[in-house]
Amino acid sequence: MFLEQIVSQTLMDLEQRKQELPLAEMMLRAVAQPPPRDLLEALRPSHSPGDHMGSPLQWTKSQIRLIAEVKRASPSKGLLAPHLDPVELAMTYTANGAAAISVLTEPHFFLGSLQYLRAIKEAVNVPVLRKDFIVDEYQVYEARACGADAILLICAILSDEQLQYLLKVAHDQRMRCLVETHNAQEVQRAVAAGAAIIGINARDLVTFEVNPYLFRELRYTIPTDRIVVAESGIRSSADARRLARYDIHAMLVGESLVVSNDVPTQIRLLLYGANNGVQVKICGLRTHEHLNTAIEAEADLLGLMFYEPSHRYIQPEQAKMLLENTRFSSGAINWAPTPDLVGVFVNKESDFINDVAERIGLHFVQLHGNELPEFCQLINRPVIKALQLEKGKDREMVRTFRDVAWRILLDTPSATWGGSGLTHNWHLARRIAQETPI
């Protein structure tokens, strides 16, 4: 409902602006602007020596960037910041670490303005994104004429032809585009159109409700050579920490910053949560009590053991029933931060692993046997590869797997598979962590 109203109003406003200033004149104003700042470079993480371009881990050693939004109101929440000073807020954002500024310019439902965009561009030294409901090339030139370095393109309101054409128009102006998606089909369309920066918006544009699970559902459908931006529903340090789990490159945050009484502290909490939180996995869960305790303790990952010799082994059907009953009886899994499910397997066939992962709804697969790197590529989920490192061969083993595994798990050498109860060599772990996410 909201989306149709906004687009309809946008089209009416657009016709009026075209009459006031024709497209040809707007194009001349756009060309007269200084070269835009590069949003892609602002969001592109710096690579550590251990990272490999093109690998699933190419971004994981880097900091998650913040796109901070200037937003006076929203259709779902109404007026958010009646006394908002757009320029002052944008300067506060950049002074506290924002990599880019997003400016709402839609005037009726978000109370935005192109004047805000112009003023903010003059006041800050980072890329400025025009966030609006762009459906026509006129708006692209208009954005550039007002100083925008990048624009938002929303898949939900554009055909494939429109999306490709607007991307080309923006590219010709040397502008970057954040292409926003809300489902797997839109991700495919964005990728096919050649979008370099793809946003996952967890907010439904029809109901304006937020689905916090969408980031993990869509993240790994996006090629590793694209920048991925999480949008909507990011309010706390825990929310930001969850993004790090999915190798998100940047987060676009508006409402929680705009309504904050202490914007610098709120930014620090978000950036700290995204870039400094240690992720905790509690493994061998077999009962409702186990699950609920781990969830209440805000564990990041919940481990289910599918290795028969282990005394923590659980049959796949039992695990499925356990998870379903936990969800429907306690509801605990439905509140954020939401843990991810990890299935632990030892030397099983890939078809079996993929079948269990699909039936149970696993988010990650942990391979704890002597599986080879080629085997990891057969798994339909991001892989955590456990390695029992041998002295003198540790770095060689890690390098063998880091291009095919989501994370490396360091296990103490033992005569049996699985936990040995022995503490790992922390000095070795520190050395390896300098090269590879563990």
Any idea which residues carry the catalytic annotation?
69, 71, 131, 180, 201, 231-232
DSSP per-residue letters across 374-401: HHHTT-SS-EEEEEEPPTT-HHHHHHHH
Task: Please answer whether residues 157 and 2 qualify as being in contact, where contact means their C-beta atoms are separated by less than 8 angstroms.
Answer: no
Token pair listed for 294: 């781990």
Task: Give the closest residue to 405 by CA, choosing from 374, 370, 433.
Answer: 374
Q: Which DSSP letter does residue 204 get?
A: -
Task: Give the closest residue to 399 by CA, choosing from 367, 353, 368, 434.
Answer: 434
User: What span, in angstroms and rounded, lies between the C-alpha atoms of 141 and 28?
Assistant: 9
Token pair listed for 107: 């005037």
Residue indicated by tokens 């040995």 = 420
Return the number of other C-beta atoms located less than 10 Å from residue 438's C-beta: 15
> Is the torsion defined by CA of 250, 193, 182, 203 positive or negative?
positive
The continuous run of DSSP H or E covering 154 comes out as: strand 150-154
Strand ranges (E), 182-306 = 197-201, 227-231, 250-253, 281-282, 301-305
